[in-house]
Structure 1
Amino acid sequence: MGGLREVAAPFVVPGPSGVAIRGSLKGLTGQDERVLRLVGGLLGSLASRDLKVRCAAGLDHDSGQWAERKRAVTGQSSSRWAGSITKATHDQWALARRGQSAYIHSLQAGIGMIARRLSLPVGSKGSKGSPGGYRSRQEWFAKSRRLRLLEERLERERADREAGRVRVVRGGRKLLRNRHNLQAARLTGTGWRERWEAGRWFLQADGESGKRWGNETIRVSPDGEVSIRLPAPLAHLANAPHGRYILACRVHFRHRGEQWADRIAANRAMAYRIHYDVERGRWYVTASWQIPPVKMVPLEAARSGGLIGVDMNADHLAAWRLDAHGNPVGEPRRFDYDLSGSAPHRDAQMRHALIRLLHWTQRHHLSIAIEDLDFQAETTREKHGRRKRFRRLISGMPVSRLRSRLTSMAAELGITLVAVDPAYTSRWGAQHWQRPLTTNTRTTTRHDAAAVAIGRRALGYPIKRRTQPPPQHRSDAAGHRSVQATSGILGREGTRPRIPGPRTRSAGAGCGAKAGNQGVPPSGSWGSAHNRSEHTAEHESWQQDSCSVPRNGPGTARSWVRHS
């Protein structure tokens, strides 16, 4: 089939490489909050300075400059705080580089799409896969100006990437822009300042194996006592030996608490981060650690007993169980979620839908097949033009978050994930599976058919169903067969040419004594064959044989036997 891109092979999704759990700090005193704010503000200012130095170094940064940065921060805090700060700023610079690369790819996609549409005549219609020309000369002119603007941006971003320059905002660029439009962000000046300062605090420390309870800087005991090693300028605020400050409250980790306790009892590395939620007015501590890579199940073993195909949509997950041969089993399932409202509400909805899907999969002891989606190149307004609702739809789908959550939750339950190429799954699924799976008691949706297509691709079978058997006769009454002629053969949809001769099962075309008289006489002699005195039809009787069944399809003739 020409014009279709090559479909990548399915693969088993690797498991997560780390775990993070969170607990709340309830019962903090006023002095505790004061100390946390002072420590966070001091270390945050040091992190901002170090980030400036790291961004200025660019691509010329090496281990010597890293050591120099760490010595500069150590003099104002401690060696362990300095190690955490320099590592965090380097990771932030690397993240900005990845974001810069993604932005360059987005600009290239937009420029290519605009250039293509500008080359088409104004008002020309597009196909389903690509848009046509612009609607009017005014729109064409506006897009030509935007093309020049995007080309300038692309040239500037390429120059910054070659030079190693990145633009990073500690606290978040979105929050920084909200400062200029507080009414739209529903914030006050004081509220925005509190969020800005809390977002720029730095209260996180990496763990170290072999040290007491896995961390010397922020230490959490097995009974939940939290103590912090204060930086040198704030050492006078310590309430415990060795310049440490012990909080008045205790923290409890409800999720994975036993794993956390086992790790700190063995003095294994444990990283902690203390942060403040301005909306709720609460302090939290997050514990994280690395886990060994999970042994991946071979692809053949993952799909040996069948699997469950899952199609992700804007408001639900469509799932269907398939056996080892790629046949749908049972009824389709639908797991709804609502992505409107606040971010915590959306996260809860997503987790609830995923856990229902995983529990259903666990009962059947199967794997899950899901699409390897990536909408970064699909959300541009250059490709979808004025279809704003569709752009908002695909932009609002939390594809990366769903993928990360599903990977971690499936690994916890021991469920294998198989990722497939998303090319043409919805289209081909609806074409080949939606109508055959629809019955009087079940209405199969396009998303259910896409789930079947995803599952078949993960199993290694083609999405198209097997070739249908031939019809009861060779006429066109039974409709067009699924496999008859390729798309490149001209006239494949036309009727078959008529073959002269009798239409019987025993005699072929052109056989028999009167075979030449069975056709239509030439023009001007219609009926002459029946008006001749020597014709056998005038002297002998004809009747239908009881053993010969007539074929009543259009374009066919009846079979008759002569009796003397």
Structure 2
Amino acid sequence: MANSTLRTIEAPFVAPGPSGVAIRAGIKGMSQRDREVLLLVGAHLGSLASADLKARCRAGTDHDSDQWAERKRALTEESSSRWAGSITKATHDQWGLARRAQLAHIHNLEAGVRTIARRLSQPVGEKGTKRAPGGYRTRQEWFQKARRLHVLKGRLERERSDREAGVVHVVRGGKRLARGRHNLEAAQLTEYEWRRRWDAERWFLQADGESGKRFGNETIRVSCDGEVGIKLPAPLAHLANAPRGRYVLDGRVGFRHRGEQWADRVSANRAVAYRVHLDVDRGRWYLTASWTIPPVQIVPLTAARANGLIGVDTNADHFAAWRLDEHGNPMGEPRRFLYDLDGPATYRDAQVRHALTRLLRWARREGVSIAIEDLDFGAEKTREKHGRGKRFRKLISGMPVAKLRARLVSMAVELGITIVVVDPAYTSRWGAEHWQKPLSSKNRKTTRHDAAGVAIGRRALGHRIRRRTAPPPHNQSDCVRHRTAQAGHGTHGREETRPRVPGPRTRSVSPDAARTRVTSASTTVRDAPVDQVWVQDSLLLTD
């Protein structure tokens, strides 16, 4: 394969640590009045948030700071200045997310249009290659895809016009839940259950933190002993049971995870943002606390490579990992960390978290870093690219690569483990080509995923994935070990056989002082640095 057909491979880098922390705990011991007050406050602020989002979407790209201030003043009359600030900030975040999703959808449509147009231009039944699909199988399929091409072009034209006009389509509460109202039987919900979920998703009970204010938040205040107080909006001030229009819940909250960090921030009056939400299925109220953290000092890439690392290949049901030394040589046996991504989101999250915990514990025992691919299947999920491969499309769509990488980085920071991110290009293909067969034996069956883990680790270490030329057998050279050491990429003759030494090379011939070298001491450098090769002095001849 010509080098011109290969895409550029990005250099590996050390993944930065998380910039924020979020913890959640249930509110225990709530009274019936607490629930009624939270329902009223959430519904009132939710209606204001919906109206504000509508106004923001109507303004489009022509929105400016004056319009923002005008919207905030209108919201202040119906709530408070702090509630208005939280609502407008959440509105702008949601509008920005919708714009980014709109651009990603446009790119997806463009990829589909290009793929269908190319396949339509080829003869029916034309075979494709590994890099590009061929023509469609039958004339009927060609006709159906020609119709779909017109549909995609129409969608693409509408999306482009909406983006130029600054129009976005946002549903507070979620489009999936909104569509479920029209088919309750398929959603396995009754009308009452759907209404409860819809209302809970559209409530607004979140407030940004403020440094210097008491307990770090003036709107939703949580004391060190777990007492929760809420600043009521102006129309609901008559429900207050505390001074200055505040309502203090009878329930209490206690954070087990990172509880000490949260208590330190609250006691020092540092900013902490809170969100109160209802889990309709469990019937429980939860409080989520979040705050920003200073950036973690990134370890240099050379330091992360010092003791070798663990190359990890991400798959649909397991992590395939292999320990490599600093020279890129596999050590020990490969390991697999299984998980199951079938089931509800909570189950999938627990499965991935458990697998990552075992992987990180192994890395901590070995005292090495972890290398992982920078996967992104955004352009790989279209049915136009993979055709009838529905199982494969479902497979890659179910892999939460972005969430998995973020969770791995956040968990690794707590254990002091460095994560090295590499380009995923050709790791599975080249790993299987160069490492799967050599690493297989009678007692070990090396899979394609194990070999991909070796390829990922070698790329993170700065080595080429391709293995070096196998050394000559025993008794045809003085030793085999000298070819297993790594050499720099530019070293002359590093892939060649050793220079021939004059004289017989078998043990059956008696030594001849005139034609053999002295074997009393070897001058070959075995543990040479990475950028050096073995060195041998000139031959010593006897008298």
Normalized against structure 2, the TM-score is what?
A: 0.86
Which residue is equivalent to 2:417? 415
Which of residues 227, 238, 250 is equivalent to 1:236?
238
Which of residues 319, 325, 347 is equivalent to 2:321?
319
Matched, 1:397 2:393: no
Q: Which runs of 5+ in 1 are unaligned?
A: 475-504, 507-545, 548-564
Which of residues 93, 100, 112 is equivalent to 1:91?
93
Q: In structure 1, how many angstroms separate the alpha carbons of the residues matched to 2:449 and 2:388?
A: 25
Which residue is equivalent to 1:184? 186
Which residue is equivalent to 1:307? 309
SS at match of 1:455: helix
SS at match of 1:426: helix
Letter in 1 for 2:278: Y
Deviation at 1:130, TM superposition (A): 2.4
Q: Once structures 1 and 2 are overlaid, which stretch shifts more, 57-66 or 33-42?
A: 57-66
Q: In structure 2, how many angstroms separate the alpha carbons of the residues matched to 1:407 and 1:54?
A: 35
Letter in 2 for 1:65: Q
Which of residues 281, 292, 304 is equivalent to 1:279?
281
Which residue is equivalent to 2:199? 197
Q: Deviations over 1:79-124 (max 9, x none)?
A: 0000000000000000000100110110111111111111111011
Q: In structure 2, how many angstroms separate the alpha carbons of the residues matched to 1:147 and 1:98?
A: 24
Deviation at 1:181, TM superposition (A): 1.2
Question: Equivalences for 1:116-265 in 2 at 5 Å?
Answer: 116-265=118-267
Deviation at 1:196, TM superposition (A): 0.3
SS at match of 1:329: strand
Q: In structure 1, how many angstroms separate the alpha carbons of the residues matched to 2:183 and 2:405?
A: 33
SS at match of 1:234: helix
Q: In structure 1, how many angstroms separate the alpha carbons of the residues matched to 2:444 and 2:191?
A: 56
Which residue is equivalent to 1:500? none
Which residue is equivalent to 2:489? none
Q: In structure 1, how many angstroms separate the alpha carbons of the residues matched to 2:25 and 2:474?
A: 70
Question: Equivalences for 1:374-453 in 2 at 5 Å?
Answer: 374-453=376-455
Letter in 1 for 2:309: L
Which residue is equivalent to 1:29? 31
Which residue is equivalent to 2:12? 10
Q: In structure 2, how many angstroms separate the alpha carbons of the residues matched to 1:139 and 1:160?
A: 31
SS at match of 1:358: helix
Deviation at 1:151, TM superposition (A): 1.1
Which of residues 455, 459, 462 is equivalent to 1:460?
462
Q: In structure 1, how many angstroms separate the alpha carbons of the residues matched to 2:358 and 2:235?
A: 51
Q: In structure 2, how many angstroms separate the alpha carbons of the residues matched to 1:49 and 1:365?
A: 54
Which residue is equivalent to 1:77? 79
Q: In structure 2, how many angstroms separate the alpha carbons of the residues matched to 1:471 and 1:343?
A: 54
Deviation at 1:285, TM superposition (A): 0.2
Letter in 2 for 1:20: A
Question: Equivalences for 1:464-543 in 2 at 5 Å?
Answer: 464-469=466-471
Q: Which runs of 5+ in 2 are unaligned?
A: 477-501, 510-543
Q: In structure 1, how many angstroms separate the alpha carbons of the residues matched to 2:123 and 2:270?
A: 66
Deviation at 1:160, TM superposition (A): 1.0
RMSD of the TM alignment (CA)?
1.7
Letter in 2 for 1:384: H
Deviation at 1:210, TM superposition (A): 0.2
Following TM superposition, where does structure 1 have runs of at least 4 consecutive aligned residues deviating by more than 6 angstroms? 471-474
Which of residues 103, 113, 116 is equivalent to 1:114?
116
Q: In structure 1, how many angstroms separate the alpha carbons of the residues matched to 2:71 and 2:16?
A: 36
Deviation at 1:57, TM superposition (A): 1.0
Q: Once structures 1 and 2 are overlaid, which stretch shifts more, 5-14 or 77-86?
A: 5-14
Letter in 2 for 1:175: L
Letter in 1 for 2:382: T
Deviation at 1:473, TM superposition (A): 13
Q: In structure 2, how many angstroms separate the alpha carbons of the residues matched to 1:129 and 1:372?
A: 21
Which residue is equivalent to 1:64? 66
Letter in 2 for 1:225: E
SS at match of 1:25: strand
Deviation at 1:470, TM superposition (A): 5.8
Q: In structure 2, how many angstroms separate the alpha carbons of the residues matched to 1:185 and 1:407?
A: 35
Letter in 1 for 2:122: L
Deviation at 1:129, TM superposition (A): 2.9
Deviation at 1:335, TM superposition (A): 0.5
Q: In structure 1, how many angstroms separate the alpha carbons of the residues matched to 2:289 and 2:168?
A: 30
Deviation at 1:472, TM superposition (A): 9.7
Deviation at 1:428, TM superposition (A): 0.7
Which of residues 241, 262, 269 is equivalent to 1:267?
269
Letter in 2 for 1:334: R
Q: In structure 1, how many angstroms separate the alpha carbons of the residues matched to 2:213 and 2:26?
A: 24
Q: In structure 1, how many angstroms separate the alpha carbons of the residues matched to 2:465 and 2:89?
A: 48
Q: Once structures 1 and 2 are overlaid, which stretch shifts more, 127-136 or 306-315?
A: 127-136
Q: In structure 1, how many angstroms separate the alpha carbons of the residues matched to 2:406 and 2:462?
A: 25
Q: In structure 1, how many angstroms separate the alpha carbons of the residues matched to 2:302 and 2:314?
A: 24
Deviation at 1:9, TM superposition (A): 0.8
Q: In structure 1, how many angstroms separate the alpha carbons of the residues matched to 2:226 and 2:153?
A: 56
Q: In structure 1, how many angstroms separate the alpha carbons of the residues matched to 2:201 and 2:331?
A: 50
Q: In structure 1, how many angstroms separate the alpha carbons of the residues matched to 2:339 and 2:471?
A: 42
Letter in 1 for 2:261: Q
Deviation at 1:469, TM superposition (A): 3.8
Deviation at 1:468, TM superposition (A): 2.6
Deviation at 1:274, TM superposition (A): 0.1
Normalized against structure 1, the TM-score is what?
A: 0.83
SS at match of 1:210: coil
SS at match of 2:123: coil
Deviation at 1:244, TM superposition (A): 0.5
Q: Deviations over 1:400-442 (max 9, x none)?
A: 1101111111111111111111111011101111111112221
In the alignment of these two chains, the number of paired residues is: 479
